């Protein structure tokens, strides 16, 4: 069954289950890299903010044998759990002085995002683009992000240059960087049993190779941490520890991998590894790039190697 047909069935079933006080809609939501997801919205007259319930995982569950009735129950339960307890006053977003302290940036790739980039202020960087968002933080909605569009720039009477100046200050403060070894990242992500299974056979003593250990650079929140390569002076600070430049492997929009240049690395092999991981391990909307980058310690710049 195609996703559009499934979405229609779910919408009708949820609306019937909840009754006439609710209006249920399915909207196509454009995500990063041109990915389109189908979001279910359950609307009422007394709430101005409702969660968007993406249907793709439920579609996969349905195709695997889950019943429509069970999917509807799960969606309604999630909706009720995530629904803010009160209306959210978003009037503040009209005023630049009220949002300027939480304007931040993130990195996406240019290819595949042409339509999105036409609608948002951005700065090209090699084959990437620096975009901007408002880092929302509140008791009702928790942590979130609101993408800044050209219409906001016009409303606030600001410019891309001013957004960049604010983001250069705000992003490192609100999303501090964190650089860890691959071994440390695995330990954070896995249970002890999973971790021991993962590293079994990777060398004597059950440890990852330390001849040229990969460093994972991200934010402490592990969200959109690839933008840490933009933090003023950070790459130079990291390179100064070894006195060498390093390769930058774009693991995803959330992190990059740094590999010190010891003169033994084969760039073409690293690029092949990036492409393979992007195809098999990274969600399509989270892919950053297939390019291999290099930070030149002497020139203090980043360039594409292959």
CB-based contacts of 22, cutoff 8 Å, min separation 6: 14, 15, 42, 43, 44
- Residue among 285, 252, 291 at smallest CA distance from 116: 285
> Vertex 110, ends 118 and 26: CA angle to 5°?
60
Tell whether the model's pLDDT for residue 199 goes beyond 60: no
Confidence (pLDDT) at 192:
62
Q: What percent of the chain has pLDDT over 70?
A: 90
pLDDT in tens, 208-264: 444 557 899 999 999 999 999 999 999 999 999 889 999 999 999 999 999 999 988
List beta partners, residue 240: none
- Residue among 199, 215, 197, 216 at smallest CA distance from 207: 199
- Residue among 271, 272, 254 at smallest CA distance from 305: 271
Confidence (pLDDT) at 142:
77
Phi/psi of residue 48, each to 5°? -100, -10
Confidence (pLDDT) at 193:
67
Q: How far is it, in rounded angstroms, from Cα 94 to Cα 105?
A: 19
Strands 36-43 and 53-54: antiparallel
Phi/psi of residue 149, each to 5°? -110, 170
Q: What percent of the chain has pLDDT over 90?
A: 79
Tell whether the model's pLDDT for residue 273 goes beyond 80: yes
pTM of the entire predicted model: 0.88
Lowest-pLDDT choice from 82-86, 95-99, 109-113: 82-86
CB 78 within 8 A of CB 51: yes
pLDDT in tens, 118-156: 999 999 999 999 999 999 987 766 788 999 999 999 999
- When pLDDT is cut at 50, 70 and 90, the band that residue 291 belongs to is very high
pLDDT in tens, 20-57: 999 999 999 999 999 999 999 999 998 889 999 999 99
Tell whether the model's pLDDT for residue 285 goes beyond 60: yes
Q: Where are the domains of the chain?
A: 3-82, 91-174, 177-304
CB 88 within 8 A of CB 49: yes
């Amino acid at each position: 069954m195609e996703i559009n047909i499934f979405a229609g069935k779910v919408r009708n079933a949820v609306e019937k289950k909840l009754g006439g006080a609710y209006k249920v809609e399915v909207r196509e939501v454009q995500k990063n890299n041109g990915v389109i997801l189908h979001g279910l919205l359950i609307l009422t007259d007394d709430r101005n903010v409702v969660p968007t319930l993406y249907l793709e995982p439920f579609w996969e569950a349905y195709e695997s044998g889950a019943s429509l009735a069970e999917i509807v129950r799960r969606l309604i339960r999630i909706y009720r759990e995530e629904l803010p307890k009160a209306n959210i006053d978003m009037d503040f977003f009209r005023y630049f002085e009220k949002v300027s302290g939480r304007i931040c940036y993130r990195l996406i790739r240019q290819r595949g995002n042409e339509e999105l980039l036409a609608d948002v202020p951005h700065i090209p960087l090699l084959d990437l683009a620096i975009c901007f968002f408002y880092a929302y933080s509140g008791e009702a909605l928790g942590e979130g992000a609101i993408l800044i569009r050209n219409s906001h720039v016009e409303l606030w009477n600001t410019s891309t240059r001013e957004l960049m100046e604010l983001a250069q200050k705000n992003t490192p403060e609100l999303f501090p960087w964190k650089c860890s070894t691959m071994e440390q990242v695995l330990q954070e992500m896995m249970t002890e049993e999973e971790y021991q299974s993962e590293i079994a056979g990777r060398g004597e003593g059950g440890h990852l190779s330390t001849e040229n250990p990969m460093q994972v650079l991200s934010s402490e929140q592990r969200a959109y941490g690839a933008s840490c390569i933009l933090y003023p002076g950070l790459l130079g600070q990291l390179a100064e520890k070894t006195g060498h430049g390093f390769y930058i492997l774009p693991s995803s929009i959330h992190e990059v991998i740094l590999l010190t240049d010891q003169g033994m690395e084969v760039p073409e092999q690293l690029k092949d590894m990036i492409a393979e991981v992007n195809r098999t391990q990274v969600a399509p909307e989270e892919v950053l790039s297939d390019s291999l980058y290099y930070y030149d310690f002497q020139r203090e710049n980043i360039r594409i190697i292959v």
